[in-house]
Amino acid sequence: MLTLKEISLRKGKRTYLDEVSFTAEAGRITAIVGTRSAGRTELVRVIMGLICADEGTVELEDFELDFGDRQNFGYLPAERGGYPNMRVIDQIVYLARLHGITLGAAERNALTLLSHLDLADRGYAPLKNLSGAEIARVDIAATLAADPDVVVIDDAFAGLDAASLRLVMKLLRAHASSGVPVIVATDDWEAAQTFADDVIVLSQGKVTASGSVEKLLGDPHYKVETKDAEAARSALESRSGISAAKVANRDDNVISFHAADAKTAAAAVAALDGVTNFESVRPTLAEQYKEAL
């Protein structure tokens, strides 16, 4: 696991990070989500040791990292680069070799990764001949080619179309499953909710919420539309396992309520007269947290 403890970063009168603490667990994908001014890139650079925090520590398996301790980290910055005239496979191998792995291992890994990313037929083409989404996939392959112990990707979903996103996240999931913390920084709330296990909500350099996606989404609430909202509300409040029943929209006779579980909610609604609609409502992460940023 990778642990950040009370990371603060300032420059002049501006505070970029303010006592940021969280743990990215091995085997899980952790998304750092926030606007472009939230401090995401600064946080990623602190994790990678590219800039030094004014306060706090970055630890891997309880070992405090110092300069040079990130040789086996896979890092993809927001500022993407590449060698347009170099063949795709040569580029991946070259970047993997910078991490110290053998030529044979780098070549094997490159071929395997290109296959998983549906780029097996593009390996011997120059990078400049690939589409934008294909180049984005090559960037991910290069990030993983040295079998990194930690993966850190800034602006994680940039340049990926829907098909590429599914391929990339499947590959990152497989790498995480090998016992590696995978950290993705993004302003794409929907992708973070869909693909991450844990989410860190960052706003103006502070962590405003953190936890598993399921925890942050919270329990669903329910809405039922009836012909007599007040009678339905009264009936719901009298049932065990039902709470916070209120008329959400008098004009449409809609009642919202919470229930211990879906079965309890369904049973309560089944006992009502004149029900015309019943649904479960679960606000997205963006609806719950983005609005407050």
Q: Give the confidence band of 292 by pLDDT, cuts at 50, 70, 90.
A: low
Written in H, E and C, the secondary structure of 155-166 is CCCCCCCHHHHH
Name the percent of the chain lying above pLDDT 70. Answer: 99
Q: Residue 67 and residue 70: Cα distance in Å, rounded?
A: 8
With cut-offs at 50, 70 and 90, classify the pLDDT of residue 167.
very high
For the cut 80, the answer to whether the pLDDT of residue 194 exceeds it is yes
DSSP-assigned beta bridge partners for residue 126: 87
Answer yes or no: is pLDDT of 239 > 70.
Answer: yes
Closest CA to 200 of 190, 209, 192: 209
**pLDDT (0 to 100) of residue 291:** 62
How many CA atoms lie within 13 Å of 145's alpha carbon, on the beta-carbon side?
34
CB 106 within 8 A of CB 145: yes
What band does 287 get if pLDDT is binned at 50, 70 and 90? confident
Candidate from 15-24, 63-72, 141-150, 183-192 with smallest mean pLDDT:
63-72
Is the confidence at residue 158, as pLDDT, over 90?
no
In this prediction, residues 158-164 reach a mean pLDDT of 91
pLDDT digits (tens, 9 = 90+) for 101-128: 999 999 999 999 999 999 999 999 999 9
Ordered by start, the domain boundaries in the chain are 2-216, 219-284
**293, pLDDT greater than 70:** no
Q: How confident is the model at residue 153 (pLDDT cuts 50, 70, 90)?
A: very high
Integer Cα distance of 125 and 51 in angstroms? 36
> Thinking of the domain 219-284, which architecture would CATH place it in?
2-Layer Sandwich (3.30)
- pLDDT tier at 159 (50, 70, 90 boundaries)? confident
Name the pairing type of β-strands 150-153 and 73-76: parallel
Each residue's pLDDT tens digit, 242-276:
988 889 877 788 999 989 888 999 999 999 998 99
CATH class entry, domain 2-216: alpha beta
Digit-coded pLDDT (tens) for 51-93: 999 999 999 998 899 877 888 999 999 888 788 999 999 999 9
pLDDT of residue 2: 95
pLDDT digits (tens, 9 = 90+) for 203-221: 999 999 999 999 998 888 8
What percent of the chain is modeled with pLDDT above 90?
A: 71
Computed over every residue of the chain, the mean pLDDT equals 91
